[in-house]
Amino acid sequence: MVAKCNIWKAIRNFKFLKISTSFAYISKLMRIQSSKTYKVPRRPFEKERIDQELRLIGDFGLRNKREIWRVAYTLSNIRRAARELLTLDDKDPRRLFEGNALIRRLVRIGVLDETKMKLDYVLALKIEDFLERRLQTQVFKLGLAKSIHHARVLIRQRHIRVGKQIVDIPSFIVRLDSQKHIDFALTSPYGGGRPGRVKRKRQRDEEEDDE
């Protein structure tokens, strides 16, 4: 009887160990897959910073402050990399390779000017430089939308394409070579596609009135 109880106890412990191990494995995978995309401010009630964030939200038609913090977190990582490279010697292979790669990437997305291709200018970048390259801002500046908020609505409703691809993400960073390919989608009523639901209803009503 004692031996039988010990067997059942061992089976129960094995099942528990197996379940706990699987949960630990899943949680480990979740930790690997999830990464930090933004960082909240250390001082939540700083008047100057709050005023600046509200101004950026209004100027660039952002949905919340998290979009600002996401850009600020990206910018801080870029600055950290630039500062670390600046501590190395000018002819250091790592500084030459990684520094040029970082500068080329920033020039490609239009954040850094081609006349300022040095690491010192990377440290002078601002949040506004990245917000200017958002698809929402570019759609408004190209005159495709009546306002910065209208630009966000057009993008979310899949009226905008970059090249042949429809993009419905307002925070999409537009490269310099893709900027000239921003236009209305071919399936959109604004781009010569099928009219919208309201316009189709009006057309049907007009046809019925003519009859």
pLDDT in tens, 35-52: 788 899 999 999 999 999
- Grouping H, G, I as helix, E, B as strand and the rest as coil, residue 133 is coil
pLDDT > 70? residue 121: yes
Residues 6 or more apart in contact with residue 81 via CB below 8 angstroms? 98, 102
Residues 6 or more apart in contact with residue 142 via CB below 8 angstroms? 182
pLDDT > 50? residue 19: no
**Are residues 124 and 141 located together in one domain of the fold?**
no
pLDDT > 90? residue 63: yes
The tens digit of pLDDT for each residue in 122-162 reads 999 999 999 999 999 999 999 999 999 999 999 999 999 99
**Are residues 57 and 121 located together in one domain of the fold?**
yes
Tell me, yes or no, whether 20 lies in a domain. no
Tell me, yes or no, whether 150 lies in a domain. yes
The tens digit of pLDDT for each residue in 167-203 reads 999 999 999 999 999 999 999 988 877 777 777 788 7
Percent of the chain with pLDDT over 70: 82
Tell me, yes or no, whether 161 lies in a domain. yes
pLDDT of residue 191: 82
- In our burial notation (b when 16+ CB lie closer than 10 A, e otherwise), range 113-127 reads eeeeeebeebeebeb
- Domain residue limits at 104: 49-131
Q: Which of 116, 131, 146 is the last residue of a domain?
A: 131
Tell me, yes or no, whether 204 lies in a domain. no
Q: Which residue has the higher pLDDT, 14 or 102?
A: 102
- Grouping H, G, I as helix, E, B as strand and the rest as coil, residue 196 is coil
**Are residues 120 and 73 located together in one domain of the fold?**
yes
**Are residues 123 and 146 located together in one domain of the fold?**
no
**Are residues 68 and 107 located together in one domain of the fold?**
yes
pLDDT of residue 91: 92
Q: How many domains does the chain have?
A: 2
Supply the mean pLDDT for the chain: 86
Q: Which of 112, 131, 150 is the last residue of a domain?
A: 131
Tell me, yes or no, whether 19 lies in a domain. no
Residues 6 or more apart in contact with residue 98 via CB below 8 angstroms? 81, 85
Distance of CA 58 to the CA centre of its chain: 18
Q: What are φ and ψ of residue 192, in 5° steps? A: 90, 15
**Are residues 67 and 114 located together in one domain of the fold?**
yes
pLDDT > 80? residue 33: no
**Are residues 113 and 151 located together in one domain of the fold?**
no
- Range in 13-22, 31-40, 116-125, 133-142 the model is least confident about: 13-22
pLDDT of residue 208: 75
Tell me, yes or no, whether 197 lies in a domain. no
* CATH code for position 172: 3.10.290.10
